[in-house]
Amino acid sequence: MGIEDVSMLFTFIGGLGMFLYGMHIMAEGLQHFAGGRMQKLMGFLTQNRVMAILVGTLVTAVIQSSSATTVMVVGFVNAGMLNLSQAVGVIMGANIGTTVTAWIVSMSEWGSVLKPEFFAPLLVGIGAFVVLFVKSEKKKRIGEILIGFAILFIGLTFMSDAILPYRESPVFSAAFTVLGKNPILAVLAGAVVTAIIQSSSASVGILQTLAMNGIVGWNSAIFITLGQNIGTCVTALLSSAGSGRNGKRASVIHLSFNVFGAIIFGILMYLLFVIFPEWGNSTISSVEISIFHTVFNVSNTLILFPFADKLVDLSGKLVRGEDETAVLDGEREAVRRLVSRLDRRLLNNPSFALAAAQKEVAAMGRTACMNLESALEAVRDGNMERVQGVYDREKDINGMEKALTAFLVEVDNLSLTEWQHEKVKNLFYTVSDIERAGDHAENIAELAESMNKDQVSFSKKGKSDLDLIAAQTLQALQISVEARETGKPETANSVHALEQSVDMLEDEMREKHIRRLSKGKCNPESGVIFLDLISNLERIADHAVNIADYVAAESQNPEGAALIQR
């Protein structure tokens, strides 16, 4: 190997690196530009399988990687955000979405104006100018997309230039002739290369670069492409190693879907090449690779869509057993489940990680609501089993606070939009407010325990007053948690009216009760407990209005307001 060959090898490696980096920059810019809209897509995943396919297609088109989408699906399934039936649709859509990259690569053959060397330098210049001199974050993201797009094409040019001197080389001709005559070997070659670089988009891009130089035949290209679709499953399979059984099943569904598709199309194309040998031996263009790649993935989805439930059943047979979670010393079951749901794979996409965090914060809030309700019931009926239940759930709430705080720290360190950073901050505050509300519910349970121990009771009027303020406080907390889960400020606004009513009731009841105590109409011990009870309820209402205010504040941000309108 001479110095020129080494130089060409370096050029090809550099071009491949620029291609991958450009794709990464472009995908990251698209994610930022999409912002919370990516999170809004999560709502469609639970509707039906067709919507799941569309979401999988859109997400993969944005992040430019079916492997990354499938890894996230493994995380969603492991986190309980998706079931396997819904995951099938997203996986099918991911395979369709990954064809976008192939079409971008093939733009070089659409016409001289679209050749990389013509417009890529201009895109770098415009993108750099926007990123460096424009203050708007949204416009900066557009600049990043342009730069990534341009670097991707410049990398393709480097790879093409490196291969150009060898287009007549007998080595390439012999290699593709062998692969064309041995479909299984071609499929294996495509799968191995894709598994090594862990990107079907990149491996298809390399194949298209070779095709641009006229050294790839139809027969070899088709079977290599089928192998690339199998090789892309390796990333999700590796990722699922640390997940529960349902996460492993999601990766197995991805593999079986692509393998069945490769078998069906492999047999069909082999028969066509036997019937039309001249077509099989003719050279293929990068545009034709894009066409086949798209036809294959769309057709494979249409063929296997009716058998989606069978794929789920097959994954259950290949990965047997029920999900298990590791038992950690001193960690309660509810907290273990929460930690399992906050799957680190979700961090691959900031919007989805934020959606998962919001969902779990709301779940923590519902636990606090349940605790408040149980504590108030214990005050009414003196049931000590309810009191013990409150103590146990309070331990869960404290564990949830630690787990959610740790996860939110990781989310906050991701590349987020301004609105997403604000939302993470508000989720931090919400977790703290929920934990404090839980503490007050525990205080109420302790007061119920004291009432039972000392045989303390309230007058009929006292019980009536307590029921009134308790009902409004519980409602305020429940509505605020609902507002946090849905992100709707209209729900949040109603909490203010309840909190103001609780404040007025607390002042009024305190004044009346102190007056009764001074006149000797009330037992001092029961009076002290009554005052402590309404004080704790008033503070819970304050925390509820804090949570509601965070939601209302987010809706004032232009990005948040746009999402709510949709």
pLDDT 10s digits, 509-543: 888 877 776 766 667 777 788 889 999 999 999 99
- When mean pLDDT is compared across 74-83, 179-188, 282-291, the lowest value belongs to 74-83
Contacts of 102 (CB under 8 A, 6+ apart): 201, 204, 205, 208, 286, 289, 290, 293, 294
The lowest-confidence range among 30-39, 330-339, 486-495, 497-506 is: 30-39
- Which residue would you say has higher pLDDT here, 529 or 246? 529
Predicted pLDDT at 562:
44
Q: Rounded to the nearest 10 degrees, what angle do helices 200-212 and 286-304 cross at?
A: 140
Identify the three-state secondary structure at position 325: coil
Can you tell me the mean pLDDT for 67-94? 79
Domain residue ranges in the chain: 3-318, 333-565
Match 């999700």 to its residue by tokens: 236
The stretch 549-564 carries a mean pLDDT of 68
Please determine, for residue 561, whether its predicted confidence score (pLDDT) is greater than 70. no
Mean pLDDT of 303-312: 90
Average pLDDT over all residues of the chain: 81
Q: Is the predicted pLDDT of residue 476 greater than 90, yes or no?
A: yes
Contacts 24+ apart (CB under 8 A), 407-411: 407/342, 407/353, 407/357, 407/360, 408/357, 410/344, 410/347, 410/353, 411/347, 411/350, 411/353, 411/354, 411/357
The per-residue pLDDT for range 153-174, each reduced to its tens digit, is 788 778 777 766 766 666 656 7
So what's the pLDDT on residue 38? 55
The pLDDT assigned to 193 comes to 83
Place of tokens 């307590």: 466
**Chain segment 370-403, per-residue pLDDT in tens:** 999 999 999 888 888 889 999 999 999 999 999 9
What SS3 class is residue 405? helix
pLDDT class of 328 with cuts at 50, 70, 90: very low
Give me the pLDDT at residue 320, please. 77
> For residue 187, what are the CA distances in angstroms to 132, 149, 154, 224, 225?
45, 30, 29, 5, 7
| pLDDT tops 90 at residue 488 | no
Q: Exposed, middle or buried by CB within 10 Å (0-12, 13-18, 19+), for 566?
A: exposed
289 vs 252: CA distance, rounded Å: 27
E strands, 357-457, are none
Question: What dotted CATH number matches 333-565?
Answer: 1.20.58.220
- The SS3 assignment for 449 reads helix
CA distance 293 to 76: 27
Q: Residue 296: is its pLDDT beyond 80?
A: yes
Contacts of 277 (CB under 8 A, 6+ apart): none
Residue 563: its pLDDT value, please? Answer: 46
- What is the per-residue pLDDT across 31-41, written as a single tens digit (0 to 9) for each? 666 555 555 55
Comparing 340 with 93, which gets the higher pLDDT? 93
Region 271-275: mean pLDDT is 91
Closest C-alpha to 17, from 250, 240, 205: 205
Q: What is the pLDDT of residue 433?
A: 95
d(CA 94, CA 301): 10
Beta bridge partners of 505: none
Distance CA 463, CA 29 (A): 59
Give the residue-averaged pLDDT of 433-444: 94
Cβ(443)–Cβ(537) below 8 Å: no
Position with higher pLDDT, 176 vs 131: 131
The pTM assigned to this predicted structure is: 0.68
Provide CB contacts within 8 A for 428, sequence distance 6+: 405, 408
pLDDT score, position 325: 41
The whole-number average pLDDT for the span 175-186 is 80
